[in-house]
Amino acid sequence: MNQSDKQKDVRRRIATVQELLNNADLQATARPFSKDAGTAVTKACAEIREIMRVVNPKERLEELGPKEAFLHVVHDHRYLAAARCNWNLLQTDDETTGHADGHLPNIIEAAQDTVLLHARLLIEFYAERKVPTDISLRDFGLTIEPNLKKKLKSYKRSIEVHLLHLTAWRDTDYRARNAKDKNANAINLDWNEQIPALVELIWDALKYVSEETSKWKPAFSALHDACRKRDQNKCFPWPDYLNGKDNVRRYLESLGL
């Protein structure tokens, strides 16, 4: 887009914003009050963002290619599998847990939180992208089926309540009074019960992707196989071709990626 076209586009969008805000003002003063006012303001904000994008093109960051993104995808899957393996070992019996806790205080809570941190990152990887710099499954031209995506997203708010925000939603009585409607997921789940189901959902998502017909199928299939084995076996040797950025790059090159 040349400079003249940019100026025309900005002028057109400014006129649209003015029209939308005028409409919002009319709707807001209507009797009865119209919810269309909020819709008009939302549209006006979207137009303003586009104006800023045109006026300040440097604000648009370059995209990270899928080959480089895959290095980070491997990292979080690998350490989710390792954290789940640790968590499983600590669930074996009270004697094992007590022995471990004697050497590393509160180790079971640390293992649980590590599982949830990596799980939340991967929920966003599979289910949604918040900002353009987030690495997403869409970067690989892939997606998972809607029901699986919905199940994954249902855990996100609960993880945030438990781990990521010092929030009133942690209070049992507060949740009992207010966790309803749009806040129905603002609950602190029993993670001793829910971690197995949550991690299995993530492995199901990885399996789903590994079975899709795409040039990325072998890479995601290898990652799925390694994660399943690490999850279930503390002695499983993590594959060299998925260990370290240089090795992963060479592996992807061998696949023609």
pLDDT digit string, tens, across residues 118-142: 999 999 999 876 677 888 888 888 8
The helix (H) or strand (E) run that includes residue 74 is helix 66-90
C-alpha span between 231 and 1 (Å, rounded): 51
How does residue 2 score in pLDDT terms, banded at 50, 70 and 90?
Answer: low
Q: Residue 75 above 70 pLDDT?
A: yes
- Residues 133-148 as b or e (16 or more Cβ within 10 Å = b): eebbbebbebbbeeeb
- Residues 226-244 as b or e (16 or more Cβ within 10 Å = b): bbebbbeeeebeebebbee
In this structure, of 6-15, 48-57, 175-184, 207-216, the range with the lowest mean pLDDT score is 48-57
List the one residue out of 237, 90, 214 whose CA is nearest residue 225.
237
What pLDDT does 30 receive? Answer: 53
Q: Residue 208 above 70 pLDDT?
A: yes
Contacts of 192 (CB under 8 A, 6+ apart): 91, 112
Reported pTM = 0.73
Tell me the range of 58-62, 155-159, 184-188 where mean pLDDT is highest: 155-159
* Residue 201 in tokens: 């959902």
In this structure, of 78-82, 99-103, 150-154, 156-160, the range with the lowest mean pLDDT score is 99-103
Residue 56 phi, psi dihedral angles, 5° rounding: -120, 70
Mean pLDDT of 50-57: 64
Residue 92: strand, helix, or coil = coil
What pLDDT does 229 receive? Answer: 95
List the one residue out of 250, 251, 205, 248 whose CA is nearest residue 72.
248
Could you tell me if 119 and 80 are in contact, meaning their C-beta atoms sit under 8 angstroms apart?
yes
C-alpha span between 87 and 113 (Å, rounded): 10
C-alpha span between 196 and 117 (Å, rounded): 14
Mean pLDDT of 24-49: 62
- Residue 252 half-sphere exposure toward CB, CA atoms < 13 A: 20
